């Protein structure tokens, strides 16, 4: 039935041409569908091709960066030549073409026809692609279940199992199950470390992706901690301390992603670290003043808060600058890099607005200095009390 429908649709341009050619000039002119000449020629060309020609034309179009033309060729082959030896591969390639077009539901339909999470070759690859299409359709639990079946296989190379497990954890995170997602990602990265110790390193893209999404879990936790407007100063301090712990945990995983060395996830992680400080800056700006503070205490508190905020802005700018510079050096791009550039300019403007805020005072110098000549011996003279004296002392003057 489906094949018949597709054949009928494929013949539609030919029928329209026939109708236009045979319509007389008398009476009311019927409304016709005007197709661009190049589209008519393309459709007619597909109708004249056999399965070998369609497969070759689709492959050439895909390689030339024309996924729409490739999809038309492969889908024509699938519907018009059900017994062709190229049909399974054409179905797979049609899915790839629709994936390239970000037509995720069409891609899912193609891959689901041939996917087998317990299979090999194209069937296994199609299962991975089917899971990706489900992910982009926000069908996270279905994608996680499919990937979990692949990850549980003991007959697959360890790198493929780790790939499936990392993607499964990502689907669990985006489904909102942060605890289960963290367990899955940690298990995948532990397997990757064990494999690397055996001389079977996993794909750096996959391991960096796993560390990035562990960072995402702690970022989500950090952003979920808010300041209670009715809290007292000590309660607000504890809240800020807890947020700082979560921020540092997220930052730690992002830094591990950067250290792995994959360009895409390194720049993504850099953008996220800058974003951590940017979001904390915004939340602190919006935080309430403790209610027990009165009069001059309020002004002192807000001034100290602005000083802390200025530090966060400076940190964010530094991270964004490093991220953009790294991306430019290695020639990578994408949404993370674009966001980093936009955030960098925004943070610079915010820092300008805080120009009147004094910098954090320098820590006081130590009362005494260890001798450079012998361990444990203290210099007899006291530390100079002002900058000019200290500079002279350090230079031997």
CATH, domain 1-14+41-113, list 3.30.60, 3.30.70, 1.25.40, 1.10.3470: 1.25.40
Ordered by start, the domain boundaries in the chain are 1-14+41-113, 115-200, 203-359
Least reliable range by pLDDT among 66-75, 248-257, 291-300:
291-300
| pLDDT tens digits, one per residue of 156-203 | 999 999 999 999 999 999 999 999 999 999 999 999 999 999 998 889
Name residue, tokens 């990265």. 189
How many C-beta neighbours within 10 Å does residue 366 have?
Answer: 8
Total-model pTM: 0.72
Token duo for residue 369: 């200095």
Residue-level pLDDT at 357: 62
Residue-level pLDDT at 278: 82
CA angle 255, 258, 264 (to 5 degrees): 140
Q: Is 360's pLDDT higher than 60?
A: no
Residue-level pLDDT at 373: 43
Q: How confident is the model at residue 58 (pLDDT cuts 50, 70, 90)?
A: very high
> In Å, what is the CA distance from 184 to each residue of 144, 150, 178, 249?
11, 13, 10, 18
Residue-level pLDDT at 218: 95
């Amino acid at each position: 039935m489906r094949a018949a429908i597709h054949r009928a649709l494929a013949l539609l341009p030919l029928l329209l041409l026939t109708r236009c050619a045979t319509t007389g000039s008398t009476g009311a002119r019927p409304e016709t569908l005007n197709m661009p000449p190049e589209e008519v020629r393309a459709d007619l060309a597909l109708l004249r091709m056999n399965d070998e020609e369609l497969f070759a034309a689709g492959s050439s179009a895909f390689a030339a960066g024309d996924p729409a033309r490739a999809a038309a060729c492969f889908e024509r082959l699938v519907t018009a030549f059900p017994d062709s030896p190229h049909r399974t591969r054409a179905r797979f390639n049609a899915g790839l073409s629709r994936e390239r077009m970000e037509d995720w539901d069409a891609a899912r339909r193609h891959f689901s026809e041939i996917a087998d999470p317990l299979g090999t070759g194209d069937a296994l690859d199609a299962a991975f692609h089917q899971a990706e299409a489900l992910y982009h359709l926000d069908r996270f639990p279905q994608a996680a279940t499919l990937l979990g079946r692949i990850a549980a296989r003991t007959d697959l190379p360890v790198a493929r199992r780790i790939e499936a497990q990392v993607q499964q954890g990502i689907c669990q995170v985006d489904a909102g199950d942060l605890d289960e997602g963290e367990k899955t990602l940690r298990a995948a990265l532990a397997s990757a470390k064990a494999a690397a110790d055996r001389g079977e390193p996993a794909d750096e893209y996959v391991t960096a992706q796993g560390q990035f999404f562990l960072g995402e879990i702690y970022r989500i936790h950090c952003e979920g901690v808010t300041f209670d407007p009715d809290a007292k100063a000590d309660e607000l301090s504890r809240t800020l301390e807890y947020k700082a712990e979560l921020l540092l945990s997220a930052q730690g995983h992002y830094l591990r992603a950067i250290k792995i060395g994959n360009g895409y996830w390194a720049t993504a992680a850099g953008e996220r670290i800058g974003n951590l400080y940017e979001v904390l800056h915004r939340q602190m700006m919006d935080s309430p003043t403790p209610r027990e503070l009165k009069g001059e205490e309020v002004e002192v508190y807000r001034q100290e808060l602005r000083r802390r905020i200025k530090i966060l802005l400076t940190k964010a700018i530094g991270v964004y600058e490093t991220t953009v510079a790294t991306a430019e050096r290695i020639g990578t791009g994408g949404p993370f890099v674009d966001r980093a550039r936009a955030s960098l300019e925004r943070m610079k403007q915010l820092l300008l607005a805080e120009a009147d805020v004094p910098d954090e005072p320098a820590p006081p110098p130590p009362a005494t200095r260890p001798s450079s000549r012998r361990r444990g011996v203290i210099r007899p003279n006291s530390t100079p009390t002002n900058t000019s004296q200290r500079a002279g002392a350090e230079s031997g003057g």
